[in-house]
Chains A and B, each alone.
Chain A
Amino acid sequence: MPKVAQPKLAVWKFASCDGCQLSLLDCEEELLAVADRVQIAYFPEASRAVVKGPYDLSLVEGSITTPHDAERIHQVRRVSKRLVTIGACATAGGIQALRNFAQLKDFAALVYPSPAYLATLNKSTPIADHVFVDFELRGCPISKHQLLEVITAFLHGRKPNVPPDSVCTECKRAGLVCVMVARGVPCFGPVTHAGCGALCPAYDRGCYGCFGPKETPNTSALARAWAELGVSGPDLVRAFRTFNAYAEPFRRESIAHEQV
Chain B
Amino acid sequence: MSKSSKTRTLTVDVLARVEGEGSLQIRIRNGQLAGVQFKIFEPPRLFEAFLRGRKFTEAPDLTARICGICPIAYQMSAAHAMEQACGVTVDGPLRALRRLIYCGEWIESHVLHVFLLHAPDFLGYESALHMARDHGPLVQRALALKQVGNALVTVLGGREIHPINVRVGGFYKLPHPDQLRALADRLKWARDQAIEAVRFTAGLPFPDFEQDYEFVALRHPTEYPMNEGRLVSNKGLDISIDQFEDHFVEEQVPYSTALHAVRKARGSYMVGPLARYNLNFDRLSPLAQQVAREAGLGPVCRNPFRSIMVRAVETVYACDEALRLIETYELPDRPFVEVTPRAAVGYGCTEAPRGILYHRYRIDEHGVILDARLVPPTAQNQKTIEADLWQFIPPRLDLPDDKLIWQCEQAIRNYDPCISCATHAVRIELIRE
Residues of A participating in the B interface, judged by any CB pair closer than 8 Å: 13-20, 22-23, 25-26, 28-29, 31-32, 35, 40, 43-49, 65-66, 69, 94-96, 98-99, 102, 106-108, 110-114, 117-118, 120, 140-141, 196, 199-200, 202-205, 208, 210, 235, 238, 242-243
Contacts and interface: CB of A to CB of B under 8 A. Distances in A.
A22 B44 contact: no
A47 B165 contact: no
Contacts, number: 181
Contacts of B58: 238, 242
B17 A45 contact: yes
Contacts of A107: 46, 49-50
What 10 pairs across the A-B complex have the smallest Cβ distances? A19-B68, A47-B127, A49-B126, A48-B16, A107-B49, A98-B50, A15-B43, A28-B147, A28-B143, A141-B161
Nearest to B131: A47
29 contacts: A14-B43, A15-B43, A17-B420, A18-B20, A18-B418, A22-B69, A28-B147, A28-B150, A35-B132, A40-B129, A44-B425, A46-B17, A46-B128, A48-B127, A95-B65, A96-B43, A96-B50, A99-B49, A99-B50, A107-B46, A107-B50, A108-B46, A112-B252, A140-B65, A141-B68, A199-B158, A199-B164, A203-B158, A205-B173
Interface residues of B, number: 66
Nearest to B61: A208
Interface in B90-141: 112, 116-117, 126-130, 132, 136, 139-140
Contacts of A141: 68, 159, 161-162
Interface in B296-325: none
B45 A95 contact: yes
Interface of B: 14-21, 42-50, 52, 54-55, 58, 61-62, 65-69, 71, 112, 116-117, 126-130, 132, 136, 139-140, 143-144, 146-147, 150, 158-162, 164-165, 172-173, 252, 254, 257, 259, 335, 371, 406, 409, 418, 420, 425
Contact of A45 (B18, B71, B158): B18
Contacts of B160: 26
Contacts of A98: 50
Given A108-B46, A108-B49, A113-B252, A46 B65 contact: no
Contact of B44 (A14, A45, A106, A120): A120
Contact of B46 (A32, A48, A96, A235): A96
Contact of A19 (B45, B126, B132, B161): B161
B40 to A, nearest CB: 12
Given A28-B150, A141-B161, A45 B19 contact: yes
B396 to A, nearest CB: 18
A186 B66 CA distance: 25
Nearest to A27: B143
A32 B139 contact: yes
Given A25-B116, A95-B65, A203 B165 contact: yes
A102 B52 CA distance: 11
Given A18-B69, A35-B132, A98-B50, A118 B17 contact: no
Given A28-B147, A238-B58, A203 B43 contact: no
A47 B17 contact: yes
